[in-house]
């Protein structure tokens, strides 16, 4: 036996395909008693315990979770770590909310010690919620990015993050210039992109806070560096959409302001995308760009209802992931995001079943990020990022789940009644970095081998 060999046992779910393109029952993989073998942070085998028990390496005793559900770790495709301290701020729509709360909060990240503290809290709250990968906005300050990646590296989480670019329409303390934003982003890419499990993301906040020169500089960064990501906001709020039309009258749509700068392509993630036109969906499909569905935020800020099934129309499907958007969103738990996603979809006259919902939170998010070759599934060759869900996590869950007759009903109850209390443990690259039953601190940095 070597210390990098591990095993987990318990009821488990995963996915073999996209349930928005095929019948959901055909895409769900379920084993009542599964064994997951892990070596060097990756899954080497996954299947029924009865079939795989004989392959256990000598001396490796599985960590057994007989009353839990093992799933791939959740993936958050749109979240602002600096806004953790202003989550739940009262009473404003998007543009006023930015001025009143967000820009005030983000100025504090000029202080590296402050950024370190918030990054530590943020990553622990993600892990408490079973989220193992996120696409994260930092602030305009390079030290906010350094703080985030440094803490992610300690936990060995696979994270995607970047320095916000803003050269207009924000407080002077939060403004860079097109050149300085380019230079600072380039230095951060050189330092962090591809370092361990860290990925860099070019991050213009949204079109109104960047001049055309800055959007063009962001496009240059994408062309100059292979496999970096891009994130920004799109069509979140009607007043925002009207403002973009005033600022960029020569562009055919909000999306076109980004497309003109070379920002619409694979590994591009557009947050919210509520007020979209069919031509925009077509362009995202054609380019391979993705959208982040942020239901708790869209409801909390009164922004509107994301058209999930329109976005994923089989005639021209667009990649979609699930985002918490904290602090516009009200929870870092993707179970809570799915609770609200169900309601958003229902208001549009459709229904989001549990199989499709859990796909969005796992393999769908990985596909939106072009990381579905390594994340989002329990399968050989995939990173051993695993959430252990507890159907007895609260007294109400315990009572309600005793009356579930099918797996699909159990998953649906977990996503409507569950939150971080329904997460028993979280594994990152095969290491248990969060265990709620651990005495003292439930969080632990992984051992280095």
231-264 per-position pLDDT tens digit:
999 999 999 999 999 999 999 999 999 999 999 9
pLDDT for residue 12: 98
Residue 335 in tokens: 């179970």
Residue 14 to residues 34, 345, 352, Cα–Cα distance (Å): 11, 23, 18
Q: For residue 349, is it left (φ>0), alpha (ψ between -120 and 50) or beta?
A: left
- Does the structure show a pLDDT above 70 at 2? no
pLDDT for residue 3: 61
Residues 6+ apart with CB under 8 A from 147: 112, 115, 116, 118, 119
pLDDT for residue 4: 87
Bigger pLDDT: 3 vs 59: 59
pLDDT for residue 95: 84
Q: What is the pLDDT of residues 271-305, one digit of tens each?
A: 999 999 999 999 999 999 999 999 999 999 999 99
pLDDT for residue 172: 97
Q: What is the pLDDT of residues 313-323, one digit of tens each?
A: 999 999 999 99
Q: Place 388 in a pLDDT band, splitting at 50, 70 and 90.
A: very high
For residues 372 and 382, give the distance between their C-alpha atoms in angstroms, rounded to a whole number: 9
For residues 95 and 449, give the distance between their C-alpha atoms in angstroms, rounded to a whole number: 48
pLDDT for residue 1: 35
DSSP structure string for 9-47: EEEEEEESS-TTTS-HHHHEEEEEEEEEEEETTEEEEEE
Walk me through the domains of the chain, giving residue ranges and CATH numbers. Answer: 5-73+376-435 (2.30.40.10), 74-368 (3.20.20.140)
- Does the structure show a pLDDT above 80 at 92? no
The percentage of residues in the chain with a pLDDT greater than 70, rounded to a whole number, is: 99
For residues 428 and 449, give the distance between their C-alpha atoms in angstroms, rounded to a whole number: 14
For residues 96 and 362, give the distance between their C-alpha atoms in angstroms, rounded to a whole number: 33
Torsion angle of the four alpha carbons 73, 78, 81, 82, in this order, in degrees rounded to the nearest 10: -170
Q: What is the pLDDT of residues 11-37, one digit of tens each?
A: 999 999 999 999 999 999 999 999 999
- DSSP-derived secondary structure letter, 130: T
- Does the structure show a pLDDT above 60 at 449? no
Residue 353 in tokens: 């079943």
How many Cβ atoms from other residues are within 10 Å of residue 91's Cβ? 8
How many Cβ atoms from other residues are within 10 Å of residue 59's Cβ? 8
Three-state DSSP class for 87?
Answer: coil
Q: What is the pLDDT of residues 196-207, one digit of tens each?
A: 999 999 999 999
Which region among 84-93, 148-157, 402-411 has the lowest average model confidence (pLDDT)? 84-93
Three-state DSSP class for 312?
Answer: coil
For residues 178 and 417, give the distance between their C-alpha atoms in angstroms, rounded to a whole number: 46
Q: Place 310 in a pLDDT band, splitting at 50, 70 and 90.
A: very high
Please provide the average confidence, as pLDDT, over all residues in the chain: 96
- Does the structure show a pLDDT above 60 at 87? yes
Please check whether residue 404 is in contact with residue 398, taking contact to mean a CB–CB distance below 8 angstroms. no
pLDDT for residue 94: 83
pLDDT for residue 146: 98
pLDDT for residue 447: 84
The percentage of residues in the chain with a pLDDT greater than 90, rounded to a whole number, is: 96
């Amino acid at each position: 036996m070597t210390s990098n060999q591990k095993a987990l046992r318990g009821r488990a779910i995963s996915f073999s395909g996209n349930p928005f393109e095929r019948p959901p029952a055909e895409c769900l993989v379920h084993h009542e008693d599964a064994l997951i073998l892990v070596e060097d942070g990756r899954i080497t085998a996954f299947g029924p315990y009865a079939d795989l028990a004989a392959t256990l390496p000598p001396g490796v005793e599985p960590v057994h979770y007989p009353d839990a559900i093992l799933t791939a770790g959740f993936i958050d495709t749109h979240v602002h770590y600096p806004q953790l301290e202003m989550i739940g701020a009262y009473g404003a729509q998007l543009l006023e909310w930015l001025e009143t709360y967000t820009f005030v909060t983000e100025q504090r990240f000029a202080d590296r010690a402050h950024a370190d503290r918030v990054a530590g809290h943020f990553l622990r709250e993600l892990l408490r919620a079973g989220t193992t990968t996120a696409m994260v906005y930092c602030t305009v300050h390079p030290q906010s990015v350094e703080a985030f990646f440094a803490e992610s590296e300690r936990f060995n989480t696979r994270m995607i993050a970047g320095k916000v670019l803003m050269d207009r329409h924000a407080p002077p303390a939060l403004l860079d210039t097109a050149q300085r934003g380019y230079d600072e982003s380039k230095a951060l890419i050189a330092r962090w992109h591809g370092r361990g499990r860290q990925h860099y993301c070019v991050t213009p906040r949204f079109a109104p806070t960047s001049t055309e020169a800055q959007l063009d500089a962001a496009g240059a960064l994408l062309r100059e560096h292979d496999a970096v990501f891009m994130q920004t906001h799109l069509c979140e709020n009607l007043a925002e959409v009207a403002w973009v039309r005033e600022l960029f009258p020569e562009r055919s749509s909000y999306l076109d302001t980004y497309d003109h700068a070379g920002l619409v392509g694979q590994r591009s993630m557009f947050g919210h995308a509520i007020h979209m036109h069919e031509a925009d969906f077509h362009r995202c499909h054609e380019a391979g760009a993705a959208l982040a569905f942020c239901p708790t935020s869209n409801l909390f800020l009164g922004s509107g209802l994301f058209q999930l099934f329109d976005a994923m129309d089989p005639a021209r499907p667009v990649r979609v992931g699930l985002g918490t958007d904290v602090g516009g969103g009200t929870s870092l738990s993707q179970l809570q995001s799915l609770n609200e996603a169900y309601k958003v979809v229902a208001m549009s006259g459709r229904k989001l079943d549990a199989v499709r919902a859990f796909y969005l939170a796992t393999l769908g998010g990985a596909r939106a990020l072009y990381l579905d070759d390594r994340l989002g599934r329990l399968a050989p060759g995939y990173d051993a990022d695993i959430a252990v869900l507890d159907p007895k996590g609260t007294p109400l869950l315990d009572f309600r789940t005793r009356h579930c007759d099918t797996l699909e009903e159990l998953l649906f109850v977990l996503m409507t009644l569950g939150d971080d209390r329904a997460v028993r443990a979280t594994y990152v690259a095969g290491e248990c970095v969060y265990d709620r039953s651990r005495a003292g601190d439930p969080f632990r940095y992984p051992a280095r081998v």
